[in-house]
Structure 1
Amino acid sequence: MAETDLIKLYSSRILELAADIPRLERLEAPDATVKKRSPLCGSTITVDVKMRDGKVSDYGQDVKACALGQAAASVVGGAIVGCTESQILEARDALRAMLKEDGPTPPAPFDGLEVLRPAAAYKNRHASIMLALDATSEACAKVRESHSA
């Protein structure tokens, strides 16, 4: 990877998002907590989710990731409250398709993830970018399963 490619990849918008991640406080009594790690780069994220009436009512995250993973967590943290599990799954699947197949941008309120489209060329970064939505999807499933048990 050439240095100019790296500079383009880490655009000022990605760096702004990475520097200002919302909801970095862990929740005291979450309905579910999930920790995910990217095996390639070691990036990790832990998310706490509270859900009420089928929607995320509160969210906290601890992000130890590269700038791309941080930028994704920033967009997710800013958009997540009020979303349903199906919206989160749709965003996760769309982000994966955007990175792997040049698919469409994830739908609102997660359309800010478009900023990460240039990372599609860097497959070793995909797992880090996916961490926030992968962990949140799993947390929502845990909450649903606990309520149906």
Structure 2
Amino acid sequence: MTTETEIGRLYENNVREWARKSRNDVRLVPADLSVRRISPVCGSAVTLDIRHNQEVITELGYQARACTLGMASTAVVVVVAPGCSFSAVHEIGEKLGRLLAGEDVRFPEEWRALEMFIAARSFKARHGSILLPFQVLEDAAEQLKRRL
């Protein structure tokens, strides 16, 4: 059974602050690519508008319709991913998945905000929403590979 203390830790101030950053949609028009994904578990949806230079993400726009955790994760990705390669972001997404599964992982300094999701480990139904923006970028990378 989930306690109020566990729920309080899950939605601590840092998570809510990050979530606020993605409340208002910021779309890129035109974008090189727009990719949307919906979590089958909770129905959260994230669309990322992507500008890129080959393998490097140069700019992201977004529309997020997700829980507070999904909104926070989307905000971190939108802030930190520009300037990173798709493969580097994929690696960070894998680390985040391992963190949620209970492993102790260390993120590079610029991605340290993701450590706020340690409290979500026991809320498996929320993992899909937290991982959603990373999955969107994986889908985008796959689409780009098919185009080349």
* TM score, norm. by length of structure 2: 0.90
Q: How many residues align?
A: 147
CA distance in 2, matches of 1:22, 1:92: 22
Displacement of 1:97 in angstroms is 0.7
CA distance in 1, matches of 2:13, 2:26: 25
Deviations 1:98-135 (A, max 9, x none): 10132403334322111111101111110000001110
Preserved CA contact (<8 Å) 1:95 1:113: yes
Taking only the aligned residue pairs, the percentage that are identical comes to: 29
SS at match of 1:60: strand
Preserved CA contact (<8 Å) 1:56 1:84: yes
CA distance in 1, matches of 2:37, 2:134: 10
Preserved CA contact (<8 Å) 1:105 1:113: no
Displacement of 1:32 in angstroms is 1.9
Alignment partner, residue 75 of structure 1: 76
Q: 1:84 to 1:108 in 2, by over 3 A?
A: farther
CA distance in 1, matches of 2:24, 2:94: 23
Preserved CA contact (<8 Å) 2:47 2:64: yes
Preserved CA contact (<8 Å) 1:94 1:103: no
Displacement of 1:30 in angstroms is 1.9
* TM score, norm. by length of structure 1: 0.90
Alignment partner, residue 14 of structure 2: 13
SS at match of 2:110: coil
SS at match of 1:25: coil
SS at match of 1:101: coil
Alignment partner, residue 50 of structure 1: 51
Counterpart of 2:32, as a letter, is D
Displacement of 1:40 in angstroms is 2.0
CA distance in 1, matches of 2:79, 2:54: 20
CA distance in 1, matches of 2:23, 2:55: 22
Displacement of 1:145 in angstroms is 2.5
Q: Which blocks of at least 5 consecutive residues in structure 2 are unaligned?
A: none
Deviations 1:27-74 (A, max 9, x none): 212222211111222111011111114211111110011111111111
SS at match of 1:26: coil
